[in-house]
Structure 1
Amino acid sequence: MKLLNEVTKNNVLQSMMDQLAQRKDNIIEANKKDLNAFSGDDQALYDRLIVDSNKVDDMIRAVREVKDQPDPVGKVITDDTLDNGLKITNKTAPFGTIMIIYESRPDVTIEAAVLAFKANNKILLKGGKEAHESNEELVKCWHQALKDNGLSTDWIQYLKMDRAATQEFLRNPDQPLDLIVPRGGERLIEFVKQHAKCAVLVSGRGNNFAYVAPDADIEKVIPVLVNAKTDKISGCNALDKIYIDANHPDLKAVSRKIEKALTDKKVEIVASQEVIGHLETTQLIENESVWFEEFLAKKAAIGMVDGLDDAIDHINKYSGGHSNIILTENLDDAGVFMEQVDSAAVYHNASTRFTDGGQMGVGAELAISTDKLHHRGPLGLKQLVTNKYYVSGTGQIRE
């Protein structure tokens, strides 16, 4: 796709905000069809599917935030002149074509496309069948906004394919494809990684842990754990696992307080053999696989570790590399934890729910990347570009 100037891109985004506002009722009606057709008992999936008036307003806000950000394309990263006279400039450049494969959430149809478009990328949207009606209506908004500004609707394409067709497309795409971002559970991510022939940026898997140190301030511990677990159970930044240090001077009482605070919020507690005797729950974790599992439900696992190093080892083994917390008043221990825990975001005495583009000052995000290449954490506008070298000479040859 050709490079567009910032004025043109911003005009499209202004048109998009207008379309979302004008078609709000149509979008909500389309979403009701998806909600009525929803089958299954996955509450987290259902919650992510809902589009109401406030959600449409959030979409408009996300578009506005991106519109107000500077164009990320063509920014000079380095500019050098070598001894041989070659002038070498490294600038930001679009990826080209980005494919987003996502489940349930219709707002991804807006947030993903607006970021990719402002970064001058063509985007292919492959939404889940459960959100088909909503996505169709939202893509109509995009296409009208593009047409209003004299641009081809090819900039933003909505792909209607079943699993078999998607698999074939990933293996043999009928157009250039530079990057794929799967947004969903582990099954989706593994499916994409197995079949894709281009780069895949892994995002969205949580399974986040909290470590309660022996000196943790219970007045901070309880609200942080409750917020991280219950504020949004369907979020990839939600808390799933809690390790309490075996050396805590008031181990039983603290364990019970944590359990009660969560069960008061209707959270189901499962526990390891080492800690279950201190708790009210009788649900014993009998299979190690539970520690690898992302719950996406009102469920939390409580276990026990023996010291800071043991906590770090366990978290690095089991977590999804998304967001993990240490609760302690010891700044040195907090520093060690934050340096050695291998995840996109590490927290000291704060909720994992802040791993979010808007909360971290990035603005609207494409996803939360747990990859280390090319970026880890919230993928905002500045992260949706690659780089390109411009080399100017006066006839130099390499000898």
Structure 2
Amino acid sequence: MKILSTEKKNAVLGSMIKIIDQNRDKILAANKADLDAFTKDDQALYDRLVVDQKKIDGMIAAVQQVKDQEDPVGKTISTRTLDNGLEINNRTAPFGTIMIIYESRPDVTIEAAVLAFKANSKILLKGGKEAVNSNKELVHCWHLALEENDLSKDWIELFTLNREETQAFLKNPSEKLDLIVPRGGERLIAFVKEHAQCAVLISGRGNNFAYVAEDADWELAKKVILNAKTHKISACNALDKILVDQNLPDFEAKLQDLAKTLSESKVALLAEETVLSQVSGAEAIPSEDTWYEEFLAMKAVIGKVQNLDEAIERINKYSGGHSATILTSDKEKAAKFMERVDSAAVYHNASTRFTDGGQMGVGAELAISTDKLHHRGPLGLEQLVTNKYFVFGNGQIRD
């Protein structure tokens, strides 16, 4: 793949900022067509589908932010000269062709493409059918920006394949794929992993936990839990499970207080058998499968643990490996929790809602990776490259 200059890439992004701003009415009209066709049976999916003026402002800001960032391609990671005179440079390099599969959110069409393009990779956008009109209009904007700068529209392509066509493409792609990023639930991830013939970077599954230790500041804990659960239920960094230490002073009264606080914010509660009688209005957990479930809804589970070790064990067993928080006044206890919990982001006395590229200073993100290979956490511009060794010699041979 041709390596574009930083100036050329930034010129395209400058054009894109102008074109999005000029085409606000067309973008909103396309999104209205998608919203009108949506049945609203999935509130979280509907929330992610909505595009308004604020969301367009956010798209423009994302492009500007990436434009302002340093070009991640060709940066020297390390250099050394061996005893035999070979000079070995390890440098960042483009992935090549990236495919992202996602549902609803039209802003992903902007954020994923701007990151891939600045990282000198081609991107194939496989959005959900519920956002087809919005995505077509946004990709049209991309194509105008590319053509305005004498580049092929092939850098950014939109796929509108159905499930069967997507499966066939993954099994036998018409072009070489270097990386696939499925952003969605367990079924989508399993589908891609089953059929893909290249590397797959897992993203999107939340099922995040909060552990309230026996020495937690109770008012602080309630504030954090309420924000993590209710601030944005459609986000993969939203809270789903709450584990309360049985040694918390006034345990039963505080469970009732927590249940009241969540219920007043219209959160439906499930509780395990050990605390069901102490959580007013809660229903029993139907099966162990509930502990593995990401809700994306105004719903939460409350459970009881004996100590920090049990909390860590249960989180590592059931969570999606995305985010977890401990509410405690003990820094040593927090350090143990943060070191041992196997999640991409771990928090002390803070909401899981901060697991986000913009909030963490990464900028626009392609996804939140829960994989351990390559990169974990927000996948921003700096992380959207691979590496290559450049070895310079003058006739060296290996004996």
Superposed pair shares fold, TM > 0.5: yes
Equivalent-residue separation in structure 2 for 1:146 and 1:257 (angstroms): 56
Equivalent-residue separation in structure 2 for 1:82 and 1:243 (angstroms): 54
Q: Which amino acid aligns with 1:194?
A: E
CA contact (8 A) 1:271 1:281 kept: no
> Structure 1's 282 and 363: CA in aligned 2 closer, same or farther, altered over 3 A?
closer
Q: SS at 1:316's partner residue? A: helix
Is there any run of 5+ residues in structure 1 with no aligned partner, and where? none
Equivalent-residue separation in structure 2 for 1:373 and 1:167 (angstroms): 25
Q: SS at 2:303's partner residue? A: strand
* Residue matched to 1:74: 74
* Residue matched to 1:58: 58
Q: Which amino acid aligns with 1:112?
A: A
> Aligned-pair distance for 1:219?
1.7
Residue 360 (structure 1) aligned with residue 365 (structure 2): no
- Once the two structures are overlaid, the 10-residue window that deviates more, 163-172 or 275-284, is 275-284
Identity %: 67
* Residue matched to 2:151: 151
Equivalent-residue separation in structure 2 for 1:194 and 1:246 (angstroms): 42
Q: Which amino acid aligns with 2:275?
A: V
* Residue matched to 2:99: 99
Deviation string, structure 1 residues 80-103 (Cα, Å, up to 9, x no partner): 100000000000000000000000
> Structure 1's 71 and 138: CA in aligned 2 closer, same or farther, altered over 3 A?
same
In the TM superposition, what are the counterparts of 1:1-399 in structure 2 within 5 Å?
1-399=1-399
Q: Which amino acid aligns with 2:91?
A: K
Under a length normalisation based on structure 1, what TM-score does the superposition of the two structures give? 0.99
Q: Which amino acid aligns with 1:39?
A: T
Equivalent-residue separation in structure 2 for 1:59 and 1:254 (angstroms): 42
Q: Which amino acid aligns with 1:173?
A: P
Q: Which amino acid aligns with 1:259?
A: A
> Aligned-pair distance for 1:143?
0.2
Q: SS at 1:200's partner residue? A: coil
CA contact (8 A) 2:182 2:203 kept: yes
CA RMSD between the two structures = 0.6
Is there any run of 5+ residues in structure 2 with no aligned partner, and where? none
Deviation string, structure 1 residues 131-175 (Cα, Å, up to 9, x no partner): 000000000000000000000000001112110000000000000
Equivalent-residue separation in structure 2 for 1:225 and 1:385 (angstroms): 35
CA contact (8 A) 1:215 1:328 kept: yes
Equivalent-residue separation in structure 1 for 2:8 and 2:274 (angstroms): 61
> Aligned-pair distance for 1:40?
4.6
Equivalent-residue separation in structure 2 for 1:203 and 1:286 (angstroms): 27
Deviation string, structure 1 residues 345-386 (Cα, Å, up to 9, x no partner): 000000000000000000000000000011000000000000
Q: Which amino acid aligns with 2:193?
A: K
Give the aligned length: 399
> Aligned-pair distance for 1:185?
1.3
Q: SS at 1:390's partner residue? A: strand
Equivalent-residue separation in structure 2 for 1:358 and 1:228 (angstroms): 17
> Aligned-pair distance for 1:281?
2.0
Q: Which amino acid aligns with 1:43?
A: Q
Q: Which amino acid aligns with 1:219?
A: E
> Aligned-pair distance for 1:261?
1.1
CA contact (8 A) 2:270 2:302 kept: yes
Q: SS at 1:89's partner residue? A: strand
Deviation string, structure 1 residues 307-364 (Cα, Å, up to 9, x no partner): 0000000000000000001000011110000000000000000000000000000000
> Aligned-pair distance for 1:186?
1.2
Q: Which amino acid aligns with 1:164?
A: E
Equivalent-residue separation in structure 2 for 1:208 and 1:396 (angstroms): 54
Q: SS at 2:356's partner residue? A: coil
Under a length normalisation based on structure 2, what TM-score does the superposition of the two structures give? 0.99
> Aligned-pair distance for 1:125?
0.4
Q: Which amino acid aligns with 1:171?
A: K
